[in-house]
């Protein structure tokens, strides 16, 4: 588990592509108070994301153990925390192009919804 910086959080939190790019480019130019507020909001959003990933991993792991497809030796909460951080690292390493294709799908869906 590595130490996360504000720019890591900006990359990690689901934001629009254009807004994320702007925030990453301009963040270092902001005054200290604005940086503090952005950092605070990003950590709040990260906490929500972390808890959502943790809940999903807990449900999946519990189901796998109940089904007998997985055996956990040791502390189950430690296993879950490790899997959550692996997911976070994976998301930090992913290609921003993945977000663009997701954005296009969102735009198409939005267009379809507003047409009817």
Note the pLDDT of residue 41: 95
Supply the pLDDT for residue 76.
Answer: 87
Residue 94 has a pLDDT of 82
- The domains of the chain are located at 6-115
Structure tokens at 42: 């990003």
Question: Sign of dihedral through CA atoms 70, 58, 98, 91?
Answer: negative
Which one has a higher pLDDT value, 110 or 25?
25
Contact 57, 84 (CB under 8 A): yes
Would the pLDDT of 85 be above 90? yes
**DSSP secondary structure of 7-73:** HHHHHHS---HHHHHHHHHHGGGS-HHHHHHHHHHHHHHHHHHHHHHHHHHHHHHHHHHHHTS----
Give the separation between CA 110 and CA 69, rounded to whole angstroms.
39
Residue range 54-79: average pLDDT?
91
Q: Report pLDDT for 81.
A: 94
- The candidate with the shortest Cα–Cα distance to 12, out of 37, 115, 20, 67, is 20
What pLDDT, in 10s, does the model give residues 25-56? Answer: 999 999 999 999 999 999 999 999 999 999 99
Q: Which of 11, 6, 26, 7 is nearest to 88 (CA)?
A: 11
- Looking at residue 73, what is its pLDDT? 84
């Amino acid at each position: 588990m590595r130490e996360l910086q504000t720019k890591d959080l900006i990359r990690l939190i689901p934001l629009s592509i254009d807004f994320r790019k702007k925030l990453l480019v301009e963040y270092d130019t902001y005054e200290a108070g604005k940086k503090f507020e952005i950092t605070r909001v990003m950590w709040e959003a990260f906490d929500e994301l972390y808890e959502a990933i943790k809940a999903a991993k807990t449900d999946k792991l519990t189901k796998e153990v109940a089904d007998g497809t997985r055996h956990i030796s040791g502390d189950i909460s430690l296993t879950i925390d490790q899997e959550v951080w692996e997911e976070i690292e994976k998301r930090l390493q992913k290609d921003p192009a993945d977000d663009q294709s997701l954005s296009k799908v969102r735009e198409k869906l939005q267009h379809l919804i507003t047409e009817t």
